[in-house]
């Protein structure tokens, strides 16, 4: 069932036809079609968290540029961070895993063809977090759907819901649900990290260019006697160490690639991790839902990780312990941009670099892969946004130029704004290159930064991929 209405021009957006509908069983969507000045392109936006809503307003920039734009609820009705009770339905699990994103692309392009009498010449996708996962799923499972994909801070629900979020919640919350860290103590920890590691990139600016270079030991901040405003308790030191090291089992074996990065401390939230962990555990993690009282404390890192891998193979773009295979996407000429905040506490940037490293290993090495797949690491940025660093940038115009003109993005300017306007700007370069201060000029201006590269191509593969059976 479809409904349509004509929306008059307003606030710089041209007149468009808004079409809403449902793809069975519950994929609600909206497509907006410029009525007079379509540019021939289709654009689809991803969702966040557990989704359940239609984020059509996240298409505003593309609609203003006269794309046909589309958004959907990922196959169920709910709130983005509300317990996914809909996960008790296997069909809705399938839609959340990727079927809905694919069917939205099929339906959206069909509506464009019906409205204009011709199919879109090019199709694009953009999403962050769950939307980033949607983008990588499209490249892996439905390589013909989009010519260009932007995937930000891609969140693999199997790794996060069953492992990382549980680990963080168990370390950041006490048994009674209270937070181990107060905001003031997170500031103490972050200040200690910055004092120790900020200058490693040659400039003290409150931003870690690559947190992996930091080797700070939180024990250096432990209070000598009890507690105090400028030190950490033994409990807080233990929690910080656990997050920086990442999830392990009782044998000390790492359970997923990556860990919480240094520099992300001001965004740590046990309550936030718990809400996502418990929602996933109760309704999505296992083939059959556990008892109603099963919670993030119940999860056993020795026995439950393997039990959760069957469903992780459904939700994650690639099954646990398998390497990604984007050869079909590459062969059809697809272009992929991934960006990730170096200070993302919710989704480990090291896990994303592990993914990228396995793609480069399988598909010809870094230089060859960068002909169609480029990663932009964003120093100081939290999950998808935020952080005391340049964290706003435009990638859709860069992707369009890459797909349609063969002009690959080699330099993207990120901006940090405050109440009084722009605070500072800085360039981003395709990984493994990075921005380095030239030594002269305004450190807050991107013009004073140059491209630097490691002496050799890095191998960021972590001990995660198993040998094929």
Q: How many CB atoms lie within 10 A of CB 385?
A: 14
Buried b (16+ CB within 10 A) or exposed e, 424-456: bbbbbbbbbbbbbbeeeeeeeebebbeebeeee
Name the token pair of 28.
């609600």
Q: Are 380 and 262 in contact (CB under 8 A)?
A: no
Look up residue 319 and give its DSSP letter. -
Q: Which residues are catalytic?
A: 129, 344, 383
CA distances in angstroms from 225 to 232, 233, 234, 454, 458, listed in the order given:
10, 9, 10, 44, 44
Q: How far is residue 365's CA from residue 464's CA, in Å, rounded to a whole number? A: 19
Q: Give the tokens for residue 285.
A: 């993690």
CA end-to-end span of the chain: 46
| Angle, vertex CA 289, rays to CA 469 and CA 297, nearest 5 | 90
> Which residues, 6 or more positions from 121, have their beta carbon under 8 angstroms from its beta carbon?
40, 41
Neighbours of 182 (CB within 10 A): 11
Determine contact, residues 95/76, Cβ cutoff 8 Å.
yes
- The span from the CA of 240 to the CA of 231, in Å, is 13
3-state secondary structure (DSSP) of residue 86: helix
Closest CA to 412 of 398, 424, 401, 400: 398
Q: What is the CA radius of gyration of the chain?
A: 22
């Amino acid at each position: 069932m479809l409904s349509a209405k004509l929306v008059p021009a307003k606030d710089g957006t041209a007149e468009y036809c808004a079409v809403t509908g449902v793809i069975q069983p519950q994929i609600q969507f909206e497509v907006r079609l410029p009525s007079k000045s379509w540019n021939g392109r289709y654009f689809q936006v991803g969702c966040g968290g557990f989704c359940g809503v239609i984020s059509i307003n996240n298409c505003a920039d593309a609609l203003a540029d006269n794309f046909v734009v589309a958004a959907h609820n990922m196959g169920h009705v709910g709130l983005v961070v509300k317990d996914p009770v809909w996960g008790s339905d296997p069909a809705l699990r399938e839609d959340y895993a990727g079927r809905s994103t694919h069917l939205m692309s099929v339906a959206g392009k069909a509506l464009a063809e019906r409205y204009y009498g011709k199919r879109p010449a090019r199709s694009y996708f953009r999403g962050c977090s769950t939307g980033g996962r949607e983008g990588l799923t499209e490249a892996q499972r439905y390589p013909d759907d989009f010519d260009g994909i932007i995937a930000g801070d891609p969140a693999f629900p199997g790794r996060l819901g069953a492992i990382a979020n549980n680990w963080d919640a168990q370390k950041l919350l006490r048994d009674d649900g209270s937070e181990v860290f107060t905001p003031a103590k997170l500031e103490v920890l972050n200040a200690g990290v910055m004092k120790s590691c900020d200058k490693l990139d040659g400039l003290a600016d409150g931003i870690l260019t690559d947190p992996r270079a930091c080797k700070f030991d939180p024990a250096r901040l432990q209070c000598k006697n009890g507690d105090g405003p400028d030190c950490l308790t033994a409990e807080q030191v233990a929690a910080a160490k656990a997050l920086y090291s990442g999830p392990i089992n009782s044998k000390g074996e790492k359970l997923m690639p990556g860990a919480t990065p240094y520099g992300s401390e001001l965004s740590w939230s046990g309550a936030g991790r718990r809400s996502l962990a418990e929602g996933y555990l109760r309704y999505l993690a296992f083939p059959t839902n556990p008892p109603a009282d099963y919670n993030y404390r119940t999860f056993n890192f020795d026995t439950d990780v393997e039990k959760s891998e069957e469903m992780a193979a459904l939700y994650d773009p690639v099954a646990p312990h398998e390497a990604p295979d984007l050869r079909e996407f590459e062969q059809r000429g697809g272009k992929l941009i991934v960006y990730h905040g170096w200070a993302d506490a919710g989704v480990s940037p090291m896990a994303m670099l592990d993914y990228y490293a396995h793609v480069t290993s399988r598909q010809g090495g870094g230089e060859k892969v960068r002909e169609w797949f480029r990663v932009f690491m964003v120093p100081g940025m939290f999950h998808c946004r935020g952080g005391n660093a340049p964290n706003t940038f435009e990638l859709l115009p860069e992707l369009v130029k890459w797909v349609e003109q063969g002009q690959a993005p080699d330099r993207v300017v990120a901006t940090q704004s405050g109440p009084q306007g722009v605070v500072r700007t800085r360039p981003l370069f395709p990984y493994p290159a990075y921005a380095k201060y030239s030594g002269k000029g305004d450190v807050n201006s991107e013009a004073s930064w140059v491209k630097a590269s490691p002496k050799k191509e890095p191998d960021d593969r972590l001990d995660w991929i198993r040998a094929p059976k």
